[in-house]
Amino acid sequence: MDNATADMGAVATSLAAIAAGAAISAAAPAGSRSIGSSETDLTRCISIASGGRTWLERTLWGLRDQEGGRIGAEIANADGSHDLGPLQINSWWIPKLAAVTRTPPQHVRWWLIHDPCFNVNSARWIFLGGLAVTHDYWKAIGAYHSPLERRQQRYTASVASKLSRRFGRNIFAVRSRRVTPAAASREESARRPSAYFPAKGALEIF
């Protein structure tokens, strides 16, 4: 079994479990308690989503530190959209995520706001999709924030600062092997973005 196939199975399994836990909550009335509410919950979700790849785990933390969101967050933007949950996924992504997961948009929105693992896995899918298109680690970081290059440059500089603050300057060093952003880009861009989100049917529980 190749890495991409193994990853697809692992992600499908983990998100199916998330869906199973969220099924009742997703249909709950507004104001219901979030699925997890602490930094510990978020740490667990980021660890699971990274799949053992230190550079990806650190990337997700860099995005989270930059976005500064929290479980239950729903922040309004001037353009009418909202930034949702810990990694502040813009509501613009809801139709795309709903299509990929074959899940009603209102359930996707609820999960993005209240379920930290769904939020983190969505952030990973968005970032890795950008990496597959750009073949460049820092461009994918910028694309997570905006399609506009001028905004991407400011964002990547800020994320780099957040990464250095949390992990030190040599943020991609792992034991004796150093995984650079360029190497990470080559490795991950060879995989289809769909490998990082559930296969069709994984969330078909409604």
Secondary structure of residue 177 in the 3-state scheme:
strand
Helices (H), 71-148: 94-101, 105-114, 116-134, 137-145
pLDDT at position 20: 45
Q: What are the CA-CA distances from residue 2 to residues 88, 145, 188 (Å)?
A: 32, 31, 13
- Whether residue 70 lies inside any domain: the answer is yes
Would you say residue 118 has pLDDT above 90? yes
- Span 42-61, pLDDT tens digits: 999 999 999 999 899 999 99
Strand ranges across the sheet with 74-76? 74-76, 82-84, 89-90
Phi, psi of 173 (to 5 degrees): -80, 130
Domain that holds residue 77: 25-196
- Whether residue 165 lies inside any domain: the answer is yes
The neighbour count for residue 20, using CB atoms within 10 Å, is 11
Number of independent structural domains in the chain: 1
- Span 171-199, pLDDT tens digits: 766 543 455 566 555 555 444 433 433 33
Residues with Cβ within 8 Å of residue 107, at least 6 apart in sequence = 22, 26, 27, 98, 206
Nearest CA among 121, 10, 146 for reference residue 64: 121
Of 32-36, 72-76, 86-90, 145-149, give the lowest mean pLDDT range. 32-36
- Whether residue 44 lies inside any domain: the answer is yes
Would you say residue 12 has pLDDT above 60? no
Of the two residues 24 and 73, the one the predictor is more confident about is: 73
- Whether residue 2 lies inside any domain: the answer is no
- Whether residue 7 lies inside any domain: the answer is no
Q: What is the CATH number of the domain that holds 163?
A: 1.10.530
pLDDT at position 148: 86
Q: Is the pTM here over 0.75, yes or no?
A: no
- Whether residue 169 lies inside any domain: the answer is yes
pLDDT at position 184: 59
Mean pLDDT over 111-125 rounds to: 95
DSSP3 helix / strand / coil % (the chain, rounded to 5): 65, 5, 30
- Whether residue 153 lies inside any domain: the answer is yes
Residue in this structure with the two tokens 């970032």, named with its chain if needed = 127
